[in-house]
Amino acid sequence: MSVRHALLALLSEGPKYGLQLREEFEARTGEVWPLNVGQVYTTLQRLERDGLVESDGAEEDSPQKGFRITPEGESELAGWLRTPPDLASPPRDELVMKVLVAMRVPGTSVHEVIQVHRRYLIELMQQWTRIKEDEAEFDVALALVVDAELFRLDAVIRWLDSADGRIKRADLDPPEQAPAALPRLRRRVGVRR
């Protein structure tokens, strides 16, 4: 999450003090991303240097120093909101690697390795769900953050389930000639290094 753009977003609602910005940032992100005070002020200084916000000229680092967004800041924010994050090329996924390696290590059950990760992920999901159950019912921002984590972890578990089933089927009915999966995949989708 870009602190810079989060602060611009908060200032797009109207002028605010430094301390107020910090409190609102924490409230909006469901307190999941704690922010230290220093980060807020150094980011505000940079935003001011870049002409994206203006201050009322009060003493540096004072919690009572007021800030407002400039037209350049508004345009920067609008551009950022509409810039897709880089999801186009898959990241190098450590879990995918572990499963691929487990298939080749003698004496290792890849299904058992998959289950270890599946259990760990479900335990994480249980913790997130507990947060949602206890606190997120009346806090939409927190519920959105928790949902994002749950869907992300859920997708990993679905991949594990599908890998489990695919490997089981392949063991029962092995392909005649196993292709070299990794190099071909890397060429085709351009895995990030």
Partner 1 sequence: MNVLDLRGVTKTYGTGAAEVHALRGVDLSVQAGAMVAVMGPSGSGKSTLLTIAGSLEEPTGGEVLVGGTALAGMSRNAKARLRRRAIGYVFQDFNLLAGLTAAENVALPLELDGVSARAARKAGLRALEELGLSERASRFPDELSGGERQRVAIARAVVGDRRLLLADEPSGALDSVNAEEVMRLLHEACKRGVAAVIVTHDAQLASWADRVVFLRDGRVVDQTAPQRGPETLLAQGPGQ
- Give contact residues for partner 1 (rule: CB under 8 A): 31-34, 111, 115, 118-119, 121-134, 149-151, 153-154, 157-158, 161, 164-165
**Nearer of residues 89 and 115 to partner 1, judged by Cβ:** 115
Q: What is the smallest separation between the CB atom of 2 and partner 1, expressed in angstroms?
A: 14
> DSSP characters for 72-105?
HHHHHHHHHHTS--S-SS----HHHHHHHHHTTS
* Contact between residue 111 and residue 167 where contact means Cβ atoms under 8 Å apart: yes
In sequence order, what are the residues at sequence separation of 6 or more whose Cβ sits closer than 8 angstroms to the Cβ of residue 161? 118
SS3 content of the chain, % helix, strand, coil (to 5): 65, 5, 30
Q: What is the smallest separation between the CB atom of 157 and partner 1, expressed in angstroms?
A: 4
Q: What is the smallest separation between the CB atom of 129 and partner 1, expressed in angstroms?
A: 4
Q: Output the CA angle 52-56-62, nearest 5 degrees.
A: 100
Q: What is the smallest separation between the CB atom of 77 and partner 1, expressed in angstroms?
A: 23
